[in-house]
Structure 1
């Protein structure tokens, strides 16, 4: 069984925790705050959501990075190696492109997590939208996924389906993935597009 953790318990982290709770999937949540501070909120979201310390949360196979882009390095320092881990990067970098050394923000984030497989996903919807049930009459809310590691997308797509979303694979970060990256305070063309895929 895959284990999941959400690092960051702001609006996006909580919205995703709701998706796990709705589908009775266990998930650990952690942030810079101690777990006892997060626990009441986690319990209120649902019985499958458990607050733990950052170190405990990082024992999960798949880690959803739901912190501000500026905080990703802080999270990355928590483990010496990220081998065997999948990171789902939900961040949007509203920083000048020179700060990213000419890279797309997810490729820049990936450099901080040596050994991990990184998938960009769940970043193009606002928290309020992400928190609502993605299954509506006749369809499922779309989430876009992109990664430079083709094998990494499939298990994340499976997770998205389990959470009720319709995953749409955009290929590599600098190909289709570029459509969901914010650059220089300009939003990618697919950010905030609330799309649904009809049931086949």
Structure 2
């Protein structure tokens, strides 16, 4: 399984630190050229490699860590997203009118034709996401939701590999609503830093 993080701001870099801690290879890309990202990527870890966007998108699993409005530009980079899993770590805040009442991730999913989309890693602030998720005998929780049950299992496995405790919330418009930013109200689980103790 190959992984890429698209977007190399505070969330993208926090996620790159999570991969580096576990020595898992990941490519990173953004609207900036790879040579602009390379020094920071190398500083995070030797297996964090900056590549041009099109090359990074060859990965099987792609974490979307761009500002919400930039997802369309990423989606245009490939004619089809068949066989890809997109992990949507974006937050639409303030909520754009264009959502038309849809959860933001359901809106994002429409742009990535053929992909399986899972909402995840969006409810923690970057500074928290960047720190070791194994704390005081427990694991920091990440909430996952998606309309394709088959897509959630491998994302949950990745979260575990990274040291997190994945908790599945169900479909995007059901439990997933708990981690969506909506208008002036945040979902009830946004910014909740929850730990799961070892059994």
1:78 aligns to what?
77
C-alpha separation between the residues in 1 aligned to 2:188 and 2:98?
21
3-state SS of paired residue (1:94): coil
2:154 aligns to what?
155
Q: How many residues align?
A: 199
| Per-residue deviation, 1:98 | 3.0
2:99 aligns to what?
100
1:185 aligns with 2:148: no
| Per-residue deviation, 1:102 | 1.6
| Per-residue deviation, 1:97 | 5.6
1:134 aligns to what?
133
Structure 1 consecutive aligned stretches of length 4 or more whose deviation exceeds 2 Å? 95-98
3-state SS of paired residue (2:31): coil
Give per-residue Cα distances to partners, 1:124-169, cap 9 Å, x unaligned. 0000000000001210000000000000000000000000000000
- For the 8 Å contact 1:26–1:49, the answer to whether it is kept is yes
TM-score, scaled to structure 1:
0.98
Give per-residue Cα distances to partners, 1:40-72, cap 9 Å, x unaligned. 000000011000000000000000000000100
| Per-residue deviation, 1:105 | 0.2
Unaligned 5+ segments in structure 1 are: none
| Per-residue deviation, 1:101 | 1.7
